Amino acid sequence: MTFPKDFLWGGATAANQCEGAWDIGGKGESIPDHMRAGGLHKHRVMTPTIEPDGYYPNHDGIDFYHRYKEDIALFAEMGFKVFRLSIAWSRIFPKGDEAEPNEEGLAFYDRVFDEYKKYGIEPLVTISHFELPYALAENYGGFFDRKTIDFFVNYATTLFERYKDKVKYWLTFNEINFGTLPLGGRNLLGILDEEDNEERRFQALHHMFLASAKAVKIGHQINPDFQIGCMLAYMTMYPLTCKPEDVLASQELVKKLNWFCGDVQVKGKYPYYMKNYFAKHGIHLTIEAGDEEILKEGTVDYYTFSYYMTSCVTANIDESGDRVGGNLFGGVKNNYLETSEWGWQIDPVGLRFTLNELYDRYEIPLMIVENGLGAVDKVEADGAIHDDYRIDYFRRHIEEMDKAIADGVNLIGYTPWGCIDLVSGGTGEMSKRYGFIYVDKDDEGNGSFDRSRKDSFYWYKKVIATNGEELASE
């Protein structure tokens, strides 16, 4: 195997999906706090007020807030070198626009980071992971209001200054390219409009680019050793056929959904094809004097992304065949791939393709910060959980990562998503499990919340201990 000796093996979570304690310690309400549970065929509903008889799965999460020492000990037992977590913005600034932070929230993350340090685990912190304070959405329209740039920069600066000696690796926004899709208007950008307005959404995304760039520049001033990256949901897509129209349709969609945000955050400028897209669709952005300079001065140090599945694209909807689901965005079924219980197509080889595409385009270090298989796990009578399907998924993807490194790609780390079971962001379910660690909680919020090790826990532990050599010996 070709993994470098300092490769960062680990796992990933998000505060809104695991912390719980939604109204404890001075924390304010976030957008996920207003989202009720859904399911595979049932959309999550966001309510303007918290309904007393409603079930809001993020309110409890998996209670990481009270169990973080137990969980971090389990991560250390697996041998994690790095752990990706997010900070809940509304735990630091309850309404998002305060001048002074909530000390109780800051102190909580101090304790969490100290616990990671005790085990020699490097924190990788996402500053904003779909956790916008609800008050910012309600009072300002989220990032559509330019004032929110300053609110975010104040928040990020507070974190940089507080944790400058405890955190080296940072990400500004999770899956920022979600803003190119209608659903991203609410979940990412904080726009609560009932109907999508593409111009408003892209204006808000412009403000988010500026907020990220300003934070990157300030972070480097506070600690030049900071490594600050971007994070995108990479949605690899293939033409359904070799028909030129299908190839062109795929290329156009890949540019908008995958390349656009990376080009802005890595290259520091708007690409030609998006300027053309805006002109064709009558989208007029307000770009103030100095904005272009801000983007140039705030480019990221490394590029991170989520990768779960791939799909196909066709120019002819009548020939599209079956549709498949996906992370943020589905597509047309690829008959050469198998499909998960939630309709996501499994494509390990596509990960190697994606890594080569990204490194060829950007030539900066890459990290896969989300990857994994959502599946229903069965607890046996003796408490064992035999998740061979998850081990198989990870084995095949890690093998393709190894091949990409052999190709010459500078891949520096890997943090599988939901390394401990958590609330699904898309559906609010617990039954859609990703973890190496099982959490006893069901889709209605019942259970002991006790943790237990799955078979994949022991397998991933060996992979880390051997720096990937475990794969070669199987």
Of the candidates 19, 115, 370, 399, the residue annotated as catalytic is 370
Task: Count Cβ atoms below 10 Å from residue 322 Cβ, excluding itself.
Answer: 10
Q: Is 293 a catalytic residue?
A: no
Distance between CA 189 and CA 444 in Å, rounded? 28
Distance between CA 469 and CA 402 in Å, rounded? 10
Q: Is 370 a catalytic residue?
A: yes
Residue 157 in contact with residue 222, Cβ under 8 Å?
yes
The number of CA neighbours under 13 Å toward the Cβ of 271 is 17
Of the candidates 115, 175, 399, 400, the residue annotated as catalytic is 175
At 414, give phi and psi (nearest 5°).
-150, 120
Residue 304: both structure tokens together? 């991170």
Residues designated as active site: 175, 370
